[in-house]
A and B are shown apart, each in its own frame.
Chain A
Amino acid sequence: MIYEIVKKLDSVLKFETASAHCDIPCGIYDPITAQIAALTVIRMVDLAGELQKEHPTQDAPFHNSLARYVAVKEEYAEKCKHEIRIIWGDYFKPEHFEKYPELNGLVHEILQLASKSRQNIDRSSGLQLLKSVNRFAQIFWETKGVATKLAKAPYEPGEQIVYPAF
């Protein structure tokens, strides 16, 4: 009742607003950024492998390029973890965890695989990461009632990713 009285007073007196300001337009989530991040990890491993062939003497340009590829691999493996954490923490609701009991374990697996991708320069780690992120994306779209399809990304490393079939 007190609330209703204050609300009526507000309509007449127009109380000032105190903003509990939040940064993002809440409600906008998309796993594509995590998927692209996983693809980037794989791409950096591929580029590092090509570098070995182009610079067998491992000269200064080799080390320069390798350092840059590793830096990007580090950044995007961490970005993948960040994007997954945000969707897991901010989007998924209790009913989703009930319907997909694998979800928490899958998130943990993704975080571990992303760390593993940082620790080594091995393509198989990146592929495992992408596979798990794809499954996460599939679950995400299913919770929105959107069917998914697997298609080859139109850019290197040309691996398959889960897309929403709008």
Chain B
Amino acid sequence: MLKILKVNGESLSPELKPGDYVVVSNRFWMPCAGDVIVFQHKRYGTMIKKLYHISRSGSDYFVIGAHRNSIDSRHFGMIEKAAVIGRVVWLIRGKT
């Protein structure tokens, strides 16, 4: 499955900026720290963050943003693997 989404927000700046597009895939993927992933959060909706840590069981992920004020696992805890839509495989950068 491939999906295109538009980035909104600053928490992964300067790597990803508002207005950039990302192509996301969940095929042939062994998640590892450093992957930028898209997931569903019950309160914040569709979010994009960097995968920082995977639980031993592999079923929960700790995600963070690059910005000091990012809303991420430091606030809402680990996310379930089932909530993950996929990882970013292609970044289509907007005009700088």
B interface footprint on A36-53 (CB within 8 Å = 1, 0 otherwise): 000000000000000000
The closest CB in chain B to the CB of A25 belongs to B69
CB atoms of B21 and A22 under 8 A apart: no
| Distance to closest chain B CB from A106 (angstroms) | 21
Closest Cβ of chain B: how far from A38's Cβ, in Å? 23
The stretch of B27-35, B42-50, B51-59 in contact with A is B42-50
Evaluate contact between B8 and A18: CB separation under 8 angstroms: yes
Per the bound structure, the CA–CA distance linking A9 and B23 in Å amounts to: 13
A156 within 8 A of partner (CB) = no
Residue in B5, B65, B69 whose CB lies within 8 Å of A24: B69
Which residue of chain B lies nearest to A4 when distances are taken between CB atoms in the complex? Answer: B95
Does A3 make an interface contact (CB < 8 A)? yes
Interface residue tally for chain A (C-beta within 8 Å):
19
- A3 interface neighbour in B3, B5, B24, B93, Cβ under 8 Å: B93
User: Nearest chain A CB to B10's CB is how many angstroms away?
Assistant: 5
- For A64, list chain B residues within 8 Å (CB): none
A residues neighboring B (CB under 8 Å)? 2-3, 6-7, 9-10, 15-24, 26, 89-90
Given A2-B92, A16-B6, A17-B8, output 11 extra A-B contacts at Cβ < 8 Å: A3-B95, A6-B4, A7-B21, A15-B4, A18-B48, A20-B10, A20-B13, A22-B9, A24-B69, A26-B69, A89-B68
Q: Closest 10 interchain pairs by CB?
A: A20-B9, A18-B48, A23-B69, A18-B5, A20-B11, A20-B12, A21-B71, A22-B11, A17-B8, A22-B10
- Listed in ascending order, the chain B residues whose CB lies under 8 Å from chain A are 3-13, 16, 18, 21-22, 24, 38, 44-49, 65, 67-71, 92-95
Q: List 23 A-B contacts (CB under 8 A).
A: A2-B92, A7-B21, A16-B5, A16-B46, A17-B6, A17-B46, A18-B5, A18-B6, A18-B48, A19-B48, A20-B8, A20-B12, A20-B13, A21-B9, A21-B47, A21-B71, A22-B9, A22-B69, A23-B70, A24-B69, A26-B10, A26-B69, A90-B68
